[in-house]
């Protein structure tokens, strides 16, 4: 059984001279998965047409295969997220999946889409762009602050619903705060008003135990390259069986109007190896034991919050149960409050302290968003705590 902590860095290509507390931003792919991806690339280049045209997606079915490479690769991914393979497709990123749904829905003038102020920026932009095409609008819900219980979040969504609301776009894990939103409760409330739910699950697979169908949502798009050890760029889109009809891939190609799987698999030529290597990342979770990985990362994230709030003299009022493997901790007031202050501190920590961590502005102050991964340990967090105090002293 492997021992988690800094010794696990041997499984990644991460620079050991730096403390990496930012796994959530673009992920970090284990060496073993990168090797699998390169082996797939080498195989593809030996017979490119056979690999891409005959074996990959069924464009010209290969009589020597019982299933396509994409369908073969989606099977372990589907099991990992608790889904049926027929309801799941690969997409390059969560943004592609969200755009696919948003661009496929028949909004009309006067309709509105609701998002929260915790929504990831690119997701909110995609919602506004799709709404604008049809003369619909996007309304932003202010989430309760501080968040002390999940019911507060669900109630905020419920209060925002009107007869004009045609879609709710909800983050599963807030990219800003790390808070895990109560998707099942939000979805139940929305469905009572006839409002379908589209989920941005960018940070969920690999950082939370996930069973997508049990959440009761209508569509769920996520990344596998953030927390699920897949190469970049690799994401998924899940659609409830009754919600697959009419979905279109954002770039029209060979699969247009041929059904859900064909729409998303008979697409323009691109490198498929991130998708095909994704099962290798899931194999690592099996070997390292998913429950152990999640427990370690969640425990370390909460230890980070306790250590840093004590070190910095700040307070985090959201309970432990509302976080997964990522948590935003309030920085000392002296660190500043603006987006420019956040950018300066983020860069100073990288260049002066050799620490990569995300720094955000939220509700009038700066927060350090710590991602906990199995190659991290509490000593990494201690380095961050001391480094921030040094940088704040320089500002003062």
Average pLDDT over residues 62-76: 95
82 pLDDT tier (thresholds 50, 70, 90) = very high
Average pLDDT over residues 257-275: 95
| Pairwise CA distance, residues 119 & 13, whole Å | 31
Average pLDDT over residues 140-155: 94
Residue 375 predicted with pLDDT over 80 = yes
Residue 396 predicted with pLDDT over 80 = no
Q: Which residues pair with 370 in a beta bridge?
A: 327
Average pLDDT over residues 46-52: 96
Average pLDDT over residues 315-328: 97
**How high is the pLDDT of residue 58?**
84
**How high is the pLDDT of residue 370?**
98
Which carries the bigger pLDDT value, residue 146 or residue 368? 368
Residues 6+ apart with CB under 8 A from 43: 51
Q: Which residues pair with 327 in a beta bridge?
A: 370
Long-range contacts of 124-130 (CB under 8 A, 24+ apart): 124/169, 126/95, 126/98, 126/99, 126/102, 127/98, 127/102, 127/169, 129/102, 130/99, 130/102, 130/103, 130/105
**Residues for the chain: how many in total?**
396
Domains in the chain with CATH codes: 6-30+289-395 (3.90.1150.10), 47-283 (3.40.640.10)
In 3D space, the residue among 353, 358, 360, 342 whose CA is nearest the CA of residue 383 turns out to be 353
Q: Encode pLDDT of 278-314 as tens digits.
A: 999 999 999 999 999 999 999 999 999 999 999 999 9
Residue 176 predicted with pLDDT over 80 = yes
Residue 143 predicted with pLDDT over 70 = yes
Compute the mean pLDDT over every residue in the chain, rounded to the nearest whole number.
96
**How high is the pLDDT of residue 303?**
98
Q: Encode pLDDT of 3-45 as tens digits.
A: 999 999 999 999 999 999 999 999 999 999 999 999 999 999 9
Six-digit token string for 182 = 């109560």
**How high is the pLDDT of residue 59?**
82
| Pairwise CA distance, residues 297 & 313, whole Å | 24
**How high is the pLDDT of residue 395?**
79
- With contact defined as beta carbons under 8 Å apart, do 76 and 282 qualify? yes
How far lies 386's CA from each of 1, 16, 75, 327, 371, in Å?
32, 19, 45, 18, 17
Six-digit token string for 179 = 């808070």
Average pLDDT over residues 164-189: 97
Residue 384 predicted with pLDDT over 90 = yes
Average pLDDT over residues 126-142: 96
| Pairwise CA distance, residues 358 & 369, whole Å | 5
Average pLDDT over residues 269-280: 97
**How high is the pLDDT of residue 1?**
86
Average pLDDT over residues 249-266: 94
Angle subtended at Cα 206 by Cα 204 and Cα 207, rounded to the nearest 5 degrees: 60
**How high is the pLDDT of residue 61?**
84
Average pLDDT over residues 91-100: 98
215 pLDDT tier (thresholds 50, 70, 90) = very high
Q: Beta strand 165-171 with 355-356: parallel, antiparallel or unpaired?
A: unpaired
């Amino acid at each position: 059984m492997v021992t988690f902590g800094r010794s696990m860095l041997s499984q990644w290509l991460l620079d050991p001279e730096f403390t990496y507390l930012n796994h959530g931003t673009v992920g970090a792919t284990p060496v073993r998965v990168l090797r699998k991806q390169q082996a797939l690339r080498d195989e593809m280049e030996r017979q490119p047409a056979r690999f891409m045209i005959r074996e990959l997606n069924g464009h010209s079915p290969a009589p020597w295969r019982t299933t396509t490479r994409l369908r073969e690769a989606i099977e372990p991914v589907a099991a990992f997220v608790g889904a049926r393979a027929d309801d799941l497709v690969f997409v390059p990123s969560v943004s592609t999946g969200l755009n696919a749904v948003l661009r496929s829905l028949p909004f009309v003038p006067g309709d509105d889409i609701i998002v929260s102020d915790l929504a990831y920026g690119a997701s909110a932009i995609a919602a506004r762009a799709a709404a604008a095409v049809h003369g619909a609008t996007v309304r932003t819900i202010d989430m309760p602050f501080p968040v002390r219980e999940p019911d507060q979040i669900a109630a905020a969504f419920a209060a925002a619903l009107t007869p004009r609301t045609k879609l709710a776009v909800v983050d599963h894990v807030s990219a800003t705060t790390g808070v895990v939103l109560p998707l099942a409760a939000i979805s139940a409330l929305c469905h009572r008003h006839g409002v379908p739910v589209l989920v941005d699950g960018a940070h969920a697979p690999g950082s939370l135990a996930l069973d997508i169908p049990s959440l009761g949502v209508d569509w769920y798009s996520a990344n596998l390259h953030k927390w699920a050890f897949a190469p970049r760029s690799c994401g998924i889109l899940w659609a409830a069986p009754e919600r697959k009809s009419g979905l279109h891939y954002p770039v029209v190609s060979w699969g247009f109007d041929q059904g859900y799987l064909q729409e998303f698999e008979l697409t323009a030529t691109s490198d498929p190896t991130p998708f095909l290597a994704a099962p290798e990342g899931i194999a690592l979770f099996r070997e390292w034991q998913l429950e152990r990985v999640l427990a370690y990362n969640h425990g370390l994230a909460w230890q980070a919050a306790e250590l840093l709030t004590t070190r910095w003299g700040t307070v985090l009022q959201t309970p432990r149960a509302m976080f997964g493997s990522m948590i935003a901790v309030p920085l000392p007031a002296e660190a500043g409050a603006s987006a420019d202050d956040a950018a300066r501190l983020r860069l100073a920590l990288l260049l002066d302290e050799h620490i990569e961590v995300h720094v955000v502005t939220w509700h009038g102050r700066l927060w350090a968003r710590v991602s906990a991964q199995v190659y991290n340990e509490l000593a990494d967090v201690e380095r961050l705590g001391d480094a921030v105090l040094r940088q704040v002293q320089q500002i003062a």
